[in-house]
A and B are shown apart, each in its own frame.
Chain A
Amino acid sequence: MTDHPRLAVAGLTKRFGAIQALAGVDLHVGRDELVVVLGATGAGKTTLLRTIAGLETPDAGSVAFDGAEATSWNPAARDVALMFQDFALYPDWTVRRNLEFPLRAPARRLPESEITQRIAWVAELLAIGHLLDKPSTRLSGGQMQRVALGRALVRRPRLFLLDEPLTNLDAKLRERLRLEIAALRRELHTPMLYVTHDQGEALAMADRIVVLIAGRVAQVGSAEDIYDRPASPEVARLLGHPPINLIAATASDGFWRAGDGTPLAPATATVGSRATIGIRPEHLAPNGGPRPAQIRVVQHHGAYQVATVAWAGGESHVLLPPEAALPIGTELHPSVVQDRALIWPG
């Protein structure tokens, strides 16, 4: 075994007219790894997958598989399975024929029994057994998505590239398939590059998360790394529910203070320097702070409640215990849990 990663992408750059889709992306996927690329819509996630699959030619940068330079290889030679975001099912064909198509490619020459077995396996996995003989154009969005996922999973490729594979499914099925897919790559010993805008999927499944913002890798790390130590306010905003509180602050009297003077965190910086302070809602205790904050909205989430309060010159989210019955207008005194404020100078 060599120690080359299954996939290594370096300096990948792609521009479509005025749009810079990828701006120097570096990325690698190990032999048994599930890497999730997390990014908002338009961050370049799909372009990244298409370039790795060989459907787009990069303007600059390289793609290598197992250490072999592959930037100029055609898609078939790369032997990756790509699940398309828009499904790209073959119309007029039954689900079964759609699933069989990649297995009947001449490069593979699989015996008929193996094909039957794999179709049965993937149909069971994705709960589409009852759809096998339906034409693909008569399926619902969620069913099409499962068939498209199935068409990728029946293969035994070098690498799975999955583009938002679970977005159209109902919550229960999505939950189950997250676990199944994560388990699958261990079973098949095939790495996956999984693209999503859903932080829940990223946190639940990823060995490593690659955060993509505007065509650039903003941060790479484990779920904990990225949640606890986000590299920038933009990364911090992508993860966490309810979203992180971001407050512009200035250093004075040994504290980072919000615009209205509310102290947020101890500051060692010179007086007058500026920073963005990030405080996760769970790190903002409802009481014990110096300044009052009126509750404006309360949302019940079962295990906890989220209160939106007027605090530090803006609105912030505070977590409350589920049994707290606080009417709108109640005054809290939020305080930041010690050492849990994130500080990005600048």
Chain B
Amino acid sequence: MTTAAAPGGGGRSGSGGWGAAAVVAPALILLIAFNVFPLFYNLILSFTSAELGVEGWTWVGTRNYQRVFERPEYSAALRTTALFVFLAVVCELALGFVLALALHRRFAGKTALLTALLIPMMLPPAVMGLYANLLYDGDYGLLNQIISGFGVAPPQWRTDPAWKLTAVLIVDVWMWTPFMLLISLAALGSVPRHLYEAAEVDRASAWMVFRRITIPLCAPLLALAALLRTTDALKQFDIVMAITGPNDQATQTVSALLYQGLFADGKVGRGSAYACVVLVLVIALATVCTRYLDWLARRQGRGA
């Protein structure tokens, strides 16, 4: 394919150029209106004293940024988010992969079972969170009734600070393990059968086969799934809102704190400064991740 073959391409005539511009314009306008403009507006606001419900604002220099770095709740939210993301992704990946190993064979009702497992992933997280509240209820919740049935004193999931983050985590794992399961099944299915056969004839132990063949060949796809889940889990907000609300120290993720600061406390300037800091961190993390994916792709490409 050549660029000259594309309609209106090459800019050979004025009308062609305008035609191309007309095609691109709607997307471009939307992009500027909803992505580029807010980004810069946010950057400007972060250097002002803007507050919701307060008329007018003044330049305050880097005061908002100083606050963000001084006040403990900001770094606490980052730590909470990091812990949450780490635990969520690790649990989901491990559980999903183990389940996939168990389900990676033909059996009657496999499709029905997989479909059933996927239902939580298809529900809105807020709905899942509200649903979970019913299960978590200290006195009437199904979960605690089961736990008491074993003669163990059940935790107060939604009020005990030691358990709140776990409660959020459980819902997230419940929702996203099926996603990891699906990707893991695809990864396992992509390992060529003749490698397993060769290993069998070579008298390799099951552990050797798993460690030397299954894991390395599944790794690239699992890494991609983990990255996708990481970026998604970084934004954790809905489940936190549903279970503890946005202003609970034990579960205050970055998104929850931003919501609290901006919309509940009205501190637009400081919230914007925090958003900028988080943006820089996310860009740094994303860069590392994409570099890693590139490296994986290069390794695969070299292999092919």
Q: CB within 8 Å of B: which residues of A?
A: 53-55, 74-76, 79-82, 84, 86, 88, 90-92, 101-102, 104-108, 135, 137-138, 151, 155
Contacts and interface: CB of A to CB of B under 8 A. Distances in A.
Contacts of A102: 202-204
Nearest to A101: B202
B197 A55 contact: yes
Contacts of A138: 302-303
Given A75-B201, A108-B203, A90 B213 contact: yes
B203 A88 contact: no
Interface string B179-210: 00000000000001011011111111100100
B302 A82 contact: no
B212 interface: yes
B225 to A, nearest CB: 20
A86 B194 contact: yes
- Is chain B's interface secondary structure helix, strand, loop, or mixed overall? helix
Interface of B: 192, 194-195, 197-205, 208, 212-213, 216-217, 299, 302-304
Given A91-B303, A92-B303, A105 B198 contact: no
Given A91-B303, A92-B303, A135-B303, A105 B217 contact: no
Contact of B194 (A88, A92, A107, A135): A88
Contacts of B192: 88
A106 B211 CA distance: 14
Instruction: State the 7 A-B residue pairs at the shortest beta-carbon distance, nearest first.
Output: A102-B202, A137-B303, A88-B198, A88-B194, A105-B203, A76-B203, A75-B200
In this complex, the member of A88, A108, A135, A155 whose beta carbon has the largest number of chain B beta carbons within 10 angstroms is A88
A76 B196 CA distance: 12
Contact of B216 (A53, A86, A92, A108): A92
Contact of B195 (A74, A90, A105, A108): A90
Contact of A76 (B194, B195, B200, B303): B200
Contact of B201 (A53, A86, A104): A53
Nearest to A82: B201
A82 B302 CA distance: 28
Contacts of B204: 101-102, 105
A86 B199 CA distance: 14
Contacts of B203: 75-76, 79, 102, 105, 107-108
